[in-house]
C-alpha cells in the first residue's frame, strides 16, 4: 500500500495508513463511550451512506456502549467536487423523537450535506444531535456546526479510500489516498 494508484483518469498517493485510521477509530470510540456510558437511553447512531460505511462499521465494533444503528443515504458530490444540491436517496423512517442521535460521517468538506440533514433531523425533535466525522477539510468548510468527535483535520485536497470514492470507485481501499496533482 505504498504505491501510487490509478482510478479512472486520476492518480492517488498513500495519505493515511490503515494503522493510523484504526488507532484513531479506537480513540473516537473511547471518547463516545466515556460520554454515553451513564446515559439511561440507548444512543442512535445514524450512518450516512455511502461514504461512511467502513468508518461506521469499525467504530461500532469498538464501542462498548449499547447502541442502535440506522442508515440514511445522502448524495452531494459529483466527481471530485462538492455540490450544494443534496439529495436524500434513502430516507430515515424511524422515530427519532427524544433520542440521543449521533451522526456518523466519513468526511465534512463544505458542510452542505450535514447541515442539510441536521435541519431535517431537528424537525423530528431528537433529544440531542452529535456529530462524529473521521475527516474534516477545514479550509473548505462553509457552515458553522461543530464536530463533536473528529478524527483527522486535512488539507483541502481530494481523497479516496476507506469508504470515500471517486466516481463510485476506491471505496474498498483499506487506507486513504490523496489526489496527485
Ligand atoms: P460536503 O457536503 O461538501 O461537506 O461533502 C460531504 C460529502 O462529500 C461527504 O460525505 C463525502 O461523501 C463527499 N466528499 C467530500 N470530500 C470528499 C473527498 O475528498 N473524497 C471523496 N468524497 C468526498
Ligand atoms: Mg459521505
CA of 125 to the centre of ligand 2 (A): 23
Position 91 scores a pLDDT of: 77
Closest-CA residue, ligand 1 atom 8, reads 77
- Known catalytic residues are 109
Does position 90 have pLDDT exceeding 80, yes or no?
Answer: no
Burial class of 33 by CB neighbour count within 10 A (0 to 12, 13 to 18, 19+) = middle
CB atoms within 10 A of CB 56: 23
Query: How many residues does the structure list for the chain?
Result: 181
pLDDT in tens, 30-58: 999 999 988 889 999 999 999 999 999 99
Pocket probe mutation, ligand 1, options 55, 113, 177, max atoms within 8 Å of Cβ: 113
Question: Looking at 79-143, which runs of residues are DSSP E strands?
Answer: 81-90, 100-108, 128-136
- pLDDT confidence bin for 29, thresholds 50/70/90: very high
CA of 105 to the centre of ligand 2 (A): 6
CA of 107 to the centre of ligand 2 (A): 6
CA atoms of 175 and 133, how far apart (whole Å): 16
Atom of ligand 1 nearest to the CA of 116: 2
CA atoms of 9 and 20, how far apart (whole Å): 28
Closest-CA residue, ligand 1 atom 3, reads 110
Closest-CA residue, ligand 1 atom 9, reads 107
Give me 2's grid cell.
505504498
Lowest mean pLDDT among 12-21, 33-42, 133-142: 33-42
Tell me how far the alpha carbon of residue 144 is from its chain's centroid.
Answer: 17
Spatial contact of 152 and 24, defined as CB atoms under 8 Å apart: yes
pTM exceeds 0.85, yes or no: yes
Beta bridge partners of 128: 100
Amino acid at each position: 500500500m505504498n504505491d501510487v494508484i490509478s482510478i479512472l483518469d486520476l492518480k492517488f498517493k498513500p495519505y493515511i495508513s490503515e494503522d493510523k485510521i484504526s488507532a484513531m477509530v479506537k480513540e473516537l470510540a473511547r471518547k463516545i463511550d466515556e460520554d454515553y456510558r451513564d446515559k439511561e437511553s440507548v444512543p442512535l447512531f445514524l450512518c450516512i451512506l455511502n461514504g461512511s460505511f467502513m468508518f461506521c462499521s469499525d467504530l461500532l465494533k469498538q464501542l462498548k456502549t449499547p447502541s442502535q444503528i440506522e442508515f440514511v443515504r445522502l448524495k452531494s458530490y459529483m466527481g471530485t467536487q462538492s455540490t450544494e444540491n443534496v439529495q436524500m436517496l434513502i430516507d430515515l423512517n424511524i422515530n427519532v423523537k427524544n433520542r440521543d442521535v449521533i451522526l456518523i460521517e466519513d468526511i465534512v468538506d463544505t458542510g452542505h450535506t450535514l447541515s442539510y440533514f441536521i435541519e431535517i433531523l431537528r424537525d423530528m425533535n431528537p433529544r440531542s444531535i452529535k456529530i462524529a466525522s473521521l475527516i474534516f477539510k477545514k479550509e473548505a468548510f462553509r457552515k458553522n456546526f461543530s464536530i463533536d468527535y473528529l478524527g483527522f483535520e486535512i488539507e483541502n485536497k481530494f481523497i479516496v479510500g476507506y469508504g470515500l470514492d471517486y466516481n463510485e470507485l476506491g471505496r474498498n481501499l483499506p487506507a486513504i489516498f490523496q489526489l496527485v496533482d
